[in-house]
């Protein structure tokens, strides 16, 4: 309970200076010198960085227990004597360790260099198009899967929809590029990419026909335009070394027997020496497709 007589006695002892101090304290909020926000306002929390793009290995793939329609039995060993089972286990281990984003959580361009027996080809991978395919390609490169394989196939064919199409294919575990070429134990689920992803030098996933049948094989397009209705998964493009791609496409070829028309293989094998990631550029931003 407030004791009025006691308060009056205290006020009676105050001098002019004490009254002035009390007056200033009372006027501070009115003069705008107090806090800008109301007491019940909560401080804004900094935005958390976006999670890494893509899915887990199990979400992004189909295993040998759930293969695509008419999928062949996985190979036991690659042409370079690598155990397919061990490669898959290594890919699973590396998969979650691969980052596709910058410090702000935005998808970043990732450059890799394919060193071939005819010269280097530099790709810029696009996680904003197909993060699972980008992560898969990087994982295979990191575990050395591509080392010693070949550019095994050259496709050149006429289409009813328009001009002749042409692309190179590589990454077949057996090195022959035949369809179905076999896989090492898993298949990637298709990813839908923007329609404006087009032009010469596109990098995409080879499929053995049905949906979700891509995995280790990839192609480098020599087309100036993306064919109408082409729903394959594209995950990057060639940014350096397109002259090497053209050089490979112009080499003497042999016809692949029992394959669709327009299927060829280089007469002299073009070897993939290694696939390595180039130094990341922290300030790089993704261009428009």
Closest by Cα among 213, 189, 172, 168 to 79 = 172
Q: Is residue 282 part of a domain?
A: no
Q: Say how far apart CA 148 and CA 142 lie, in whole Å.
A: 14
Sequential DSSP letters for 188-239? EPP----TT--STTEEEE--SSSTT-BSS-EEEE--SSPPTT--PPEEEEEE
Burial track 247-279 (b if 16+ CB lie within 10 A, e otherwise): ebbeeebeebeeeeebbbbbeeebebeebeeee
Q: Say how far apart CA 161 and CA 168 lie, in whole Å.
A: 20
Q: Is residue 66 part of a domain?
A: yes
Q: Is residue 161 part of a domain?
A: yes
Q: Is residue 23 part of a domain?
A: no
**pLDDT tens for residues 150-186?**
999 998 876 665 556 689 999 999 998 877 777 899 9
pLDDT at 229: 61
**pLDDT tens for residues 226-250?**
666 677 899 999 999 999 999 999 9
In DSSP terms, 121 is beta-bridged to 114
Torsion of CA 207, 211, 213, 214, to 10 degrees: 50
Q: Is residue 183 part of a domain?
A: yes
How many domains does one find in the chain?
1
Decide: helix, strand or coil at residue 276.
strand
Q: Say how far apart CA 111 and CA 114 lie, in whole Å.
A: 10
Q: Is residue 76 part of a domain?
A: yes
Over range 63-81, report the average pLDDT.
91
**pLDDT tens for residues 202-227?**
999 998 778 898 889 999 999 877 66
Domain CATH for 235: 2.40.100.10
**pLDDT tens for residues 10-54?**
445 555 554 444 444 444 343 333 334 344 444 444 444 444 577
Q: Is residue 129 part of a domain?
A: yes
Host domain of residue 221 = 57-277
Q: Is residue 9 part of a domain?
A: no
Task: Specify whether the CB–CB gap between 54 and 130 falls below 8 A.
Answer: no
Over range 88-115, report the average pLDDT.
95
pLDDT at 19: 43
Residue with tokens 């496409």: 249
pLDDT at 277: 95
What is the phi/psi pair of residue 117, to 5°? -70, -10
């Amino acid at each position: 309970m407030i004791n009025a007589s006691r308060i009056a006695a205290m006020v009676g002892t105050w001098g002019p200076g004490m009254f002035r101090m009390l007056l200033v304290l009372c006027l501070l909020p009115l003069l705008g010198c107090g806090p800008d926000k109301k007491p019940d306002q909560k401080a804004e929390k900094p935005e958390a960085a976006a999670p890494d793009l893509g899915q887990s290995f199990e979400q992004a793939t189909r295993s040998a227990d759930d293969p695509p329609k008419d999928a062949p039995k996985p190979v036991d060993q690659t042409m370079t004597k690598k155990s397919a089972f061990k490669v898959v286990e290594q890919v699973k281990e590396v998969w979650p360790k691969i980052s596709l984003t910058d410090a702000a959580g935005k998808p970043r361009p990732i450059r890799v260099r394919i060193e071939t027996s005819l010269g280097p080809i530099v790709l810029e991978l696009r996680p904003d198009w197909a993060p699972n395919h980008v992560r898969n390609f990087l994982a295979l490169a990191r575990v050395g899967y591509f080392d010693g394989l070949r550019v095994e196939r050259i496709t050149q064919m006429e289409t009813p929809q328009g001009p002749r199409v042409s692309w190179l294919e590589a990454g077949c575990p057996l090195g022959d590029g035949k369809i179905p070429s076999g896989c090492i134990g898993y298949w990637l689920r298709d990813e839908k990419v923007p329609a404006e992803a087009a032009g010469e030098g596109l990098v995409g996933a080879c499929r053995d026909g049905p949906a979700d049948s891509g995995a280790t094989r990839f192609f480098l397009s020599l087309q100036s335009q993306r064919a109408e209705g082409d729903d394959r998964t594209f995950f990057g493009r060639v940014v350096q070394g397109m002259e090497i791609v053209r050089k490979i496409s112009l080499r003497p070829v042999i016809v692949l027997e029992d394959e669709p028309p327009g299927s060829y293989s280089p007469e002299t094998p073009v070897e993939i020496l290694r696939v390595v990631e180039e130094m990341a550029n922290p300030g790089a931003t993704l261009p428009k497709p």
